[in-house]
Structure 1
């Protein structure tokens, strides 16, 4: 990348002009102390050894120029050499501390991402008469450990699924996602009614969440000719009919996110939506619709659902993901999970 190339060569790009200016200006103006910028910038990118090498290069430039200017053994030049040596030593220490910190952060991220991968196990590509496609796009490095979660399970009561987004990021969000997924995987098999599954998740989070933390989520169950949805403050899914017509599936009543049940009113009501052969439904997290381009415009998902008409659901979802990344022009600022269900014939 250009930024990495610039950081790598910045110390030399600074020292060369300093040497040329000092050579042209002569001994009357002393620019050699500015050579300390070389090792200082060197500590920003690269190893301790490379920073030391840059300091040696600075001295290699300083001593011949001092000799040329006739100031090699004068106290001013001795002070300049001492300054370069001191700046190089300090820069080497800064480089060592920076690399140590980067290794610690990398280890923490690896542990968190490994835990997240264990939690977000691969969903089945087929469940009953459904084809399932999944897309999960990690955010930028500084925010990539998020709390997006999803699951698809086949139970005695039908195919049930969950998609959600935990408030916040980092290890706390991963831990909360673990509680939600564990409670859902157990309740989905045990509870005959979808409302009871929701109640189990609420009870589980009430024991483990503190303060005003919450999880937006959609819990769904696929039945013979319909899909039943419980929306806990989550972005509404898109239903794409066989003929190509698409619409958002807005809940009849606004439901509170999971974890805010103790606040009282706002429990979501199950609503049934026709879901027949050839129909598709797209569930997603807010990282999709809140992705912005360079102008600050949100991703227009409603204008892009036509990309989901490909013959294979995973190919269709991959095309939508590529369009999303192209819209932002770079890494996303938040995780973006998408789950696409396509109904086949019995």
Structure 2
């Protein structure tokens, strides 16, 4: 409505103000705003309307004989032509942006598959939000797979941003999907992932910004066996998951955390497995640090455990819906970091 409002304002100024007050500025603004906001047809109509309005006002004031009238009309006509040209450029850019978004969505689906809603006795739901709004993909990752050992989960966060982070995330996800089925336990699985990431790091040492400090991945591996009401967890430098049991929310702090993946040279005694009860109806919330590092207007971090407590009885998809909306509200609508979360809920045995 802005171009039309500016056009009618110009007409009002021309009709109801002294002759010395010119409407040209409003008519010009109407045409330029139309180029940015309207279609080609709308831009042409506003341009024609602006020029016709000026001619009508000039006739109404018997000013056709003034030399300035023709120069002003020529200027408005040139602006109208430029507005059409600008509209075409913006339209081309918009189409390219749509194509980029489509490619980014396809890339995200190829790298970060949607998790199944159900794997055996476990109900799952995931949340992903990229800080790069147009790219829609970043360095946070998650995966869930059913294996002979039960349901195995992965959540991770690649240090750094951009294409290198996406490539590293893709490598880790590919390694997890391959190794999760046949690794006998979580420590073996963690070592397989560490080997894959170290191999990739040594293969591309010349990539700018790919020093080892920029290529490690914090991660959590979790295993929910079919025949035991427990969850097994290996923590590799990642924020601790939350266990939601009835109205209780408990951080599962690791007894002996391991360093992030790709820093396996620091692991001397292997990977430690933490065990926690996981009964029917319990939920496990895995998340990346983008969740807990979200800040409000005063700079305070998001109190995840406190906020989640009121939603602990919700189904996984509703819990993550609440979490996503609350994060947006808490940050004032400006989530400036990648966010990933994964909820697993054990269903009652049949």
1: distance between equivalents of 2:345 and 2:55?
Answer: 73
Please name the residue that 1:198 is paired with.
190
Structure 1 window deviating more from structure 2 (277-286 vs 92-101): it is 277-286
Determine whether 1:221 maps to 2:213.
no
- 1:188 deviation in Å? 1.1
Deviations 1:123-165 (A, max 9, x none): 3344344333334456684453334322111223332111123
Kept in 2: contact 1:236–1:251 (CA 8 A): yes
Q: Secondary structure at the match of 2:169?
A: helix
- 1:344 deviation in Å? 4.2
1:301 to 294, 299, 304: 304
2: distance between equivalents of 1:107 and 1:170?
Answer: 19
Kept in 1: contact 2:123–2:316 (CA 8 A): yes
TM-score by length of 2: 0.81
Please name the residue that 2:344 is paired with.
341
1: distance between equivalents of 2:255 and 2:3?
Answer: 62
Kept in 1: contact 2:234–2:257 (CA 8 A): no
Determine whether 1:71 maps to 2:47.
no
TM-score by length of 1: 0.82
1: distance between equivalents of 2:45 and 2:215?
Answer: 50
Once the two structures are superposed, the pairs formed by residues 51-200 of structure 1 within 5 Å of their partners are 51-136=43-128, 141-142=133-134, 144-167=136-159, 173-200=165-192
- 1:321 deviation in Å? 4.0
Once the two structures are superposed, the pairs formed by residues 246-325 of structure 1 within 5 Å of their partners are 246-252=249-255, 255-259=258-262, 261=263, 264-265=265-266, 269-278=271-280, 279-292=282-295, 297-310=300-313, 312-325=315-328
Once the two structures are superposed, the pairs formed by residues 230-245 of structure 1 within 5 Å of their partners are 230-242=234-246, 244-245=247-248
Gaps of 5+ in 2: 202-206
Structure 1 residue ranges (4+ consecutive) displaced by more than 6 angstroms after TM superposition: none
Determine whether 1:16 maps to 2:12.
no
Distance 1:323 1:73, change over 3 A: same
Aligned residues: 335
2: distance between equivalents of 1:266 and 1:36?
Answer: 68
Deviations 1:85-126 (A, max 9, x none): 111111211111111111111111112212312433343344
- 1:166 deviation in Å? 3.6
Kept in 2: contact 1:162–1:217 (CA 8 A): yes
Structure 1 window deviating more from structure 2 (284-293 vs 233-242): it is 284-293
Kept in 2: contact 1:237–1:249 (CA 8 A): yes
Kept in 2: contact 1:219–1:229 (CA 8 A): yes
Cα RMSD (Å): 3.1
- 1:230 deviation in Å? 2.5
Kept in 2: contact 1:292–1:299 (CA 8 A): yes
1:28 to 20, 25, 30: 20
Deviations 1:5-59 (A, max 9, x none): xxxx222222333332343443334342542111111111122222121111111
